[in-house]
Structure 1
Amino acid sequence: MNDLIVVGSGLGGLCAGAIAARQGLEVLVLEAHTTPGGAAHGFRRGPFQFESGPSLWSGLGRWPSTNPLAQVLRAVGETLPVATYRDWGLLLPEGALRVGVGQGPFLALLRELRSPAVAAEWERFLTALKPSCDAARSLPLLALRPGAGLATTLGGGNALRLLGQAGRLASLGGAFGPIARRHLSDPFLLHWVELLCFLISGLPMDQTSAAAMATLFGEWFEPDAGLDYPIGGSGAVAAALVRGMERHGGRLRTEAPVAEILVERGRAVGVQLENGERLEARRGVIANTSPWDLLSLLPDEAVPSRWRRRQAATPACASFLHWHLALRGDDLDHLPIHHVWVGDWQRGIGAERNMVVLSMPSRLDPSCAPPGHQVLHGYTPANEPWELWQGLERGSAAYDALKKERCAIFGEVLSQVLPDWQERVVIELQGTPLTQRRYLRTHQGSYGPAWPASSGPFPGGTTPIDGLVLCGAGVFPGIGVPPVAVSGAMAAHRFVSARQQRQLLEDIGLMDF
């Protein structure tokens, strides 16, 4: 029998399993798909390795790091080789731009694109934001402990120092939009903040967490700011978490879809797989599922109807279109790793097919493609409406026609930087919200819950069922790689003592933040 069963091997579930195993619990992680990682994954077609997960990573290639994922990896004895880069391309209504990550390069861009006065406005904004960024970065997120607070894990001196930051931390409890508008008036600067917010959360800045954005600005606008690409892509991140978990005795089972979370006398006692197999857990179950998908795993009588209705009413972000290309291209070293395209600021940053991200990971990781070739991943970040696809059958004539029509936006954008791309194509693959739902088993192919920060924080990971804890993008701190890593660690630490959690923080050097 296991101590803990984790349902789902997204990054949140893998972090939960890794930390729980590191803390000495017998852990089994169950995954319906053939490979772990959830949205953080890739796949191979012939000699080409396609990336299909997060495209923007940071804080993985150095230590100490404020990135909770890097902290979890360190806790289980894993490191990741990364390639670091420092600029990206922008295809905006203002024109085609290339900008470095960090404060200096962006200020230089603003002086040229807008005016020295606008650059000065941005500099004042960052100066005003810096104390909040420092406060956000002063909090070791792996120290978060539900209910008991931070004092039990940080200890007296560290807790008192954190108390001194309480006012600034409290100011980060809502949405980022009011903070941005308090300091910025230039339209381009406000559009830029809106773009960053949407890339991070799938929500406009008036609904994006101020704490999440303070953390982002704290990392991106340091003098030595840069972005990382994990060699091997998203799949390498998931594999590292699995290795770390297994090193400490945890286990992963793939192709093991869960049909039901077993509840007896109000307590989660295990799961039943779709093949009828029953697996028991002494301590409880961690569910790395969406709020909507969780409901289908729970017996109707196991949870109060009010809680069930609240879960079902969780607002959802829109879905994605995906585009994967293998290209002949030994002459593409001049291109940046990423291009972010925005069609029309006035339509709103979340309008359908109004933003596209194109990434070429083979520029950093040659193992993705054979010599003389590149691979490209394009996606529309959480702006594709599910309603267009609802009721269609994959492979039908109507589905194929709509897929071709909707995915044409990718070729239109790529033509702006690579006009002859069609002559270079070796493989072209297209994905839709139905693809997203099929492979990730996500409700409506959604990016995740769309809880607006202006209405309060994401829900916590507790449930009305004793021993059933949630993690992933549906619970606090929310959507994105660092938040789901935090949620996974918090879920695991619900099953161990505060003393054990504190010892882990000391072991990896987080007590001297």
Structure 2
Amino acid sequence: MSTHYDVIVIGSGLGGLAAATTLQRGGRRTLLLERHSVPGGAATSFVRGRFEFEVSLHQLGGMGGHGPLKAVLDELDVTRRLEWLEDRDLCRTFVPGEVDVRLPHDWTGLADVLDGLSPGNRPQIVRFLEIVRETGLWQLTARVNLHRIPEQLEWLKTLPDVRRYALRTFREVLDEFFTDERLKLVLSSYWSYNGQLPHRIAFVDMARLLTLYVETRPYQVVGGGQALSSALVESFEEAGGELRLNTNVVQILTHGGSAVGVRLENGDTVGAKLVVSNAPSTTTYTRLLDDPGVVPAYVLQGLRARRPGASASCLFLGVDASPKELGFTAATTFLSASLDEQSVLRGAYSLTEPCPFLIVTCYDVQPTGFAPKGCTQVVLSAIQYAEPWESLAPEDYAAAKASYAESQLDLAETLVPGLRDAIEEAELATPLTFKRYTNQPGGAIYGFDQDITDSWLFHDEDLKQNVPGLLLTSNWTTAGGYNSNLVTASRRCQGLLAMGQ
């Protein structure tokens, strides 16, 4: 080995950045290797014309009060480096001619809005939200106390509602409490932050999302995901960490069944006591390890049974009009074409169905620093899988992009009439775009397809060191999203430090 470190981290996505910063600040000499020219993975931005576009960050949960993400970023000396903006509401949920509500970030206010939408259901609404909160708080606490699982299981014994509902689908529980489809849709507003529709997501996972945002409130970051990535890098380097950009790792080296270092694309080898991979678990175990035989057979067998999760088709719009002129009052709007959940599922696998659902994000209701004065950055995000895009002939790709972007705009204009007329810049990223730039199978934005059969509760092997000397930290080993990725990676590395590793 040409050089030796305590730790080598492969990849500077948020999981890699959190791991590297935690370990370096914990006294471990850490080398962070990134194949791109900028750190951050999907937590980044790009420029078109006068506009800088946020790639992936919609809302950050966990930053208010004693939120888990704020605790981690405080410990990593990151919070003070950034300017934070609290969203005025959770979100707006809109279905043309059916639903138009703004959801507040407190449980009583939320119950009031839901009662106003569907009068006569308040007792069921209050009871349902109580179960959501109890289940969500248990899951959030359990995930940051993975080193104390016996205690979490003892607590679970005292929570009969959690045990009763946690592993049913969110849709099943909604159907038990309500008949009004509008109410069910609004309560499911945050499904897209996991990539699983209500009939596919476990109640415990949906409860975690809603509880996270109500309890700790949604936040924006001035400068977006790239500012967050850069702040983590600053903290890492100030603590003595070494970051190498444009450096591709082609192999994880093993000796005697343990990871001992990496081989770079230029042929150099670098040794370490611990290798942390921010790459997907499938990539790490089957393509990067020089000897996949060191991975336990049951782990590889489990991976073969799992599917890459959802990706997205994101239309980035630079709009020559202010948020007020466009009619935006909420930073995040969940826009559905109808109350039909199955149409959203069909649309996730189709390029011919009209776009049925969008996350409409306006980054200038409270300006986050991207758009020129008097202008607005808007991103229209449709949850989609890679398959329909991968099936296209190369010569048909550009036309398919243009057609799908028009379908997205058709739906968006039910919320923002005349949006097309004010567009100055437009760029569509498809699942193939995310696949190319992030190197994720299927362009998956949340890791594995974590439906009711594949909840994190069934996969404790994701959180183990299945190969001595190798730790995995990415969306593929946690619930997905900024909060889970950052918190889980940092807490796991803190656990290693506590054990003297």
SS across alignment from 2:369? helix
Q: Does the CA-based 8 Å contact 2:327-2:416 persist in structure 1?
A: no
Report how far residue 234 of structure 1 moved: 1.1
| Alignment match, 1:82 | 84
What is the CA–CA distance in structure 1 between the aligned matches of 2:20 and 2:112, rounded to whole Å? 45
1:182-229 per-position Cα deviation (integer Å, ceiling 9, x unaligned): 444433333334442x2231113354344443333434445xx74211
| Alignment match, 2:11 | 8
Which of 55, 58, 77 is 2:58 aligned to? 55
What is the CA–CA distance in structure 2 between the aligned matches of 1:129 and 1:421, rounded to whole Å? 36
1:261-303 per-position Cα deviation (integer Å, ceiling 9, x unaligned): 111221111111222221211x221111223322211234443
What is the CA–CA distance in structure 1 between the aligned matches of 2:131 and 2:431, rounded to whole Å? 40
Q: How does 1:148-167 map to 2 (within 5 A)?
A: 149=148, 163-164=154-155, 166-167=157-158
Cα distance 1:59–1:128, how it changes in 2: closer, same or farther (>3 A)? closer
What is the CA–CA distance in structure 2 between the aligned matches of 1:194 and 1:41, rounded to whole Å? 28
| Alignment match, 1:379 | 381
Q: How does 1:71-470 map to 2 (within 5 A)?
A: 71-79=71-79, 80-87=82-89, 88-92=91-95, 94-95=97-98, 97-102=100-105, 103-115=107-119, 117-136=120-139, 139=141, 141-145=143-147, 149=148, 163-164=154-155, 166-168=157-159, 171=163, 174-175=167-168, 177=170, 178-196=172-190, 198-221=191-214, 226-281=217-272, 283-294=273-284, 295-299=286-290, 300-304=292-296, 307-330=299-322, 331-332=324-325, 334-335=327-328, 336-348=330-342, 349-352=344-347, 353-365=355-367, 367-381=369-383, 384-390=384-390, 392=392, 396-447=394-445, 448-454=447-453, 456-458=457-459, 459-470=461-472
Q: Does the CA-based 8 Å contact 2:260-2:274 persist in structure 1?
A: yes
What is the CA–CA distance in structure 2 between the aligned matches of 1:90 and 1:183, rounded to whole Å? 20
| Alignment match, 2:33 | 30
What is the CA–CA distance in structure 1 between the aligned matches of 2:239 and 2:186, rounded to whole Å? 44
What is the CA–CA distance in structure 1 between the aligned matches of 2:210 and 2:189, rounded to whole Å? 13
What is the CA–CA distance in structure 1 between the aligned matches of 2:453 and 2:201, rounded to whole Å? 8
Report how far residue 180 of structure 1 moved: 4.2
Q: Does the CA-based 8 Å contact 1:206-1:454 persist in structure 2?
A: no
Q: How large is the Cα RMSD of the aligned pairs?
A: 2.9
| Alignment match, 2:352 | none
Q: TM-score under structure 2 normalisation?
A: 0.85
What is the CA–CA distance in structure 1 between the aligned matches of 2:30 and 2:361, rounded to whole Å? 35
Consecutive unaligned residues in structure 2, runs of 5 or more: 348-354
Report how far residue 478 of structure 1 moved: 1.8
Q: Does the CA-based 8 Å contact 1:327-1:426 persist in structure 2?
A: yes
Aligned length: 475
Q: Which amino acid aligns with 1:109?
A: V
Consecutive unaligned residues in structure 1, runs of 5 or more: 152-158, 502-513
Q: Does the CA-based 8 Å contact 1:321-1:380 persist in structure 2?
A: yes
SS across alignment from 2:458? coil
SS across alignment from 1:403? helix
What is the CA–CA distance in structure 1 between the aligned matches of 2:320 and 2:266, rounded to whole Å? 44
Q: Does the CA-based 8 Å contact 1:321-1:379 persist in structure 2?
A: yes
Cα distance 1:454–1:288, how it changes in 2: closer, same or farther (>3 A)? same
Q: Does the CA-based 8 Å contact 2:60-2:483 persist in structure 1?
A: no
1:461-497 per-position Cα deviation (integer Å, ceiling 9, x unaligned): 335421111121111x422222212331244235322
SS across alignment from 1:296? helix
| Alignment match, 1:506 | none
What is the CA–CA distance in structure 2 between the aligned matches of 1:59 and 1:490, rounded to whole Å? 14
1:16-69 per-position Cα deviation (integer Å, ceiling 9, x unaligned): 111111211111222222222222221223432101112021232x4x4223x3
Q: Does the CA-based 8 Å contact 2:311-2:443 persist in structure 1?
A: yes
Q: TM-score under structure 1 normalisation?
A: 0.84
Q: Does the CA-based 8 Å contact 2:169-2:200 persist in structure 1?
A: yes
SS across alignment from 2:262? strand
SS across alignment from 1:418? coil
SS across alignment from 2:184? helix
What is the CA–CA distance in structure 2 between the aligned matches of 1:163 and 1:478, rounded to whole Å? 22
Structure 1 stretch 461-470 or stretch 86-95: which is displaced more?
Answer: 86-95
SS across alignment from 2:408? helix
Report how far residue 347 of structure 1 moved: 4.3
What is the CA–CA distance in structure 1 between the aligned matches of 2:294 and 2:156, rounded to whole Å? 41
